[in-house]
Chain A
């Protein structure tokens, strides 16, 4: 019984770390315009919209976070192998990984922007200096919490994987959770404020991103200000729930049916979530779907 209580406690702690990681990860990627929003930021100068928004094309988020977390985990593992203090090892690993992340971010911005010279998009080096440091700070939070979570899962729950392998698995999961949950908030609601909610993206509006903020010109830091309210916490809850349910079902149901109990519990959790997702989706479509009302209004106007 005590063992189970200990396990549930560690699961809760790992889930909390994962929640922080998810929130930081999504905010980092939205400030850098990585993943989903990047294509429109890249397209904007070609459509005549010169902008001051960061253009961070470092792979997709899942592989990129796979690297940052796996690198932090690999270095932490190596330092622990020479009997280094575990906490210090995790911090040094995360610091080196963040250095690599920052370098990749700057080369991506410089590379993509310099390749757009034909469309008269200049390189704004003040953006490079101010935004890169902010994405690095968010990335450090995301990487450190995820690596610490992996360390807890191995040391406290006795997971058989070595730290670097756990790092790559959970790093990719973190990137995927942020990319799938966080980006829709940023992609449509912040990048295209002048278009109606739910209107989709007409081809004629491609690249017509919002370039001026409430006070002056928009930089990617404004995107961070916005996405840290909605998209970041949503990604955090998403990743936190993934980690919590994953650990919780293993700890509680592993003893049943020679390990198959955990597998069955996992399948049941997925089915329950599928039902909830379907309900939320149909409810949202019914409540917010704009198209039927708009056509009705147009018909009235023409009649």
Chain B
């Protein structure tokens, strides 16, 4: 059995974070549905907020999983989260055929089941023997699927499969429905996949070390989520009206600017010293 090393002490209880992550993300994704109810597109940015909330929680899951000596496994954990999450997310969007309101809840349920199976295989069949493996892989699959669903909702303004496979292209000023210019047909999902996968593994990967601190790593998670949101906001120009894109973009920039400056303050607080153009310090005197 692997030995657990405490990554950082203090901070919020993981179960509380899980609660905030799931509930917060579901509320935000349901708010995107206001677009359909009110025949507008300006609520798309709630999808991005949902992704930030789950990335914030998922960072702590990765930290829990990787505190069992999986140093180089941090990027892999991010990849498996999004890789398995995309399956659950695509399946859930099909549930819109029954009722659009089933999609976010269905996404969580399907991802949890899928993740539990994957976690069980990694832990018991591949014999990795990490006590939290099954639970954390299940959590990470939910995180991955909700990140994908959130960013997809943000880029397209909707989360039903039917809308994701139909886009409109303009030929001589005439709008023609076309699969190739849709979210799935144009493979914008590929970019969203990478934006989520790097954003989820980066905070812990970047902040690991003996002086890792909870609030700095979590602030990094918010920063990474907001940074991904900027990219998604720019891509939404292909699918949404200009006011919706501007609102998404402005909110992303503000969130990113705030979290980045906070992250720098926290790094300054935690760093041994903060030097500008100074020589190498020799520990224990000059050599």
Contact = CB atoms under 8 A, between A and B. Distances in A.
Interface of A: 42, 48, 50-52, 57-60, 63-64, 66-67, 70-71, 73-75, 77-79, 81-83, 96, 100, 103-104, 107-108, 110-126, 161-165, 167-168, 211-212, 217
B275 A75 contact: no
Contact of A77 (B169, B238, B272): B238
Given A104-B202, A120-B283, A96 B209 contact: no
A95 B78 CA distance: 25
B271 A114 contact: yes
Contacts of A79: 237-238
Contacts of A81: 167, 169, 181, 186, 238
A125 B274 contact: yes
A146 to B, nearest CB: 14
A60 B79 CA distance: 11
Contact of B209 (A78, A116, A211): A116
Contact of B205 (A59, A126, A161): A59
A123 B236 CA distance: 37
Contact of A74 (B185, B191, B272): B191
Contacts of B223: 103, 107
Nearest to A122: B273
Q: Which 3 A-B pairs have the closest CB atoms?
A: A115-B209, A74-B191, A122-B273
29 contacts: A50-B280, A58-B198, A59-B205, A63-B197, A67-B194, A73-B191, A75-B231, A78-B237, A100-B231, A104-B227, A107-B224, A107-B260, A107-B263, A108-B205, A111-B206, A112-B206, A113-B267, A114-B209, A114-B267, A115-B208, A115-B210, A118-B210, A122-B272, A122-B273, A124-B277, A125-B275, A126-B275, A163-B186, A212-B280
Interface of B: 75, 78-79, 167, 169-170, 180-181, 185-195, 197-198, 201-203, 205-212, 216-217, 220, 223-224, 227, 230-231, 234-239, 260, 263-264, 266-268, 270-284
Contact of B191 (A107, A113, A167, A217): A167
Contact of B273 (A83, A123, A217): A123
A96 B211 contact: no
B187 A121 contact: no
A59 to B, nearest CB: 4
Contact of A162 (B180, B198, B267): B180
Contacts of A114: 207, 209, 211, 216, 266-267, 270-271
A111 B194 contact: no
A57 B203 CA distance: 10
B255 to A, nearest CB: 13
A217 B195 CA distance: 36
B208 A112 contact: yes
A246 to B, nearest CB: 19
A85 to B, nearest CB: 14
Contacts of B271: 110, 113-114, 117, 122-123
A81 B186 CA distance: 9
Interface SS of chain B: helix, strand, loop or mixed? helix
B202 A108 contact: yes
A293 to B, nearest CB: 32
Contacts of B75: 59-60, 63
A117 B270 contact: yes
Contact of A48 (B209, B263, B277, B284): B284
A47 B198 CA distance: 30
A67 B198 contact: yes
B211 A77 contact: no
Contacts of B236: 78
A21 to B, nearest CB: 17
B234 A111 contact: no
A83 B238 CA distance: 10
B270 to A, nearest CB: 4
Contacts of A117: 211, 270-272
Contacts of A167: 190-191
Contacts of A104: 198, 202, 224, 227
A66 B194 CA distance: 7
Contacts of A111: 203, 206-207, 216-217, 220, 267
A211 B280 CA distance: 9
Nearest to B8: A115
A113 B209 CA distance: 9
Contacts of B282: 50
Contact of A168 (B185, B194, B224): B194
Nearest to A52: B280
Contacts of B276: 124-126
B187 A162 contact: yes
A100 B279 CA distance: 30
Contacts of B279: 217
A57 B206 contact: yes
Contacts of B284: 48
Given A78-B188, A118-B211, A125-B274, 17 more contacts: A50-B282, A59-B201, A75-B235, A78-B237, A78-B238, A79-B237, A81-B181, A114-B211, A114-B270, A116-B272, A117-B270, A122-B281, A123-B275, A124-B278, A162-B186, A165-B187, A168-B194
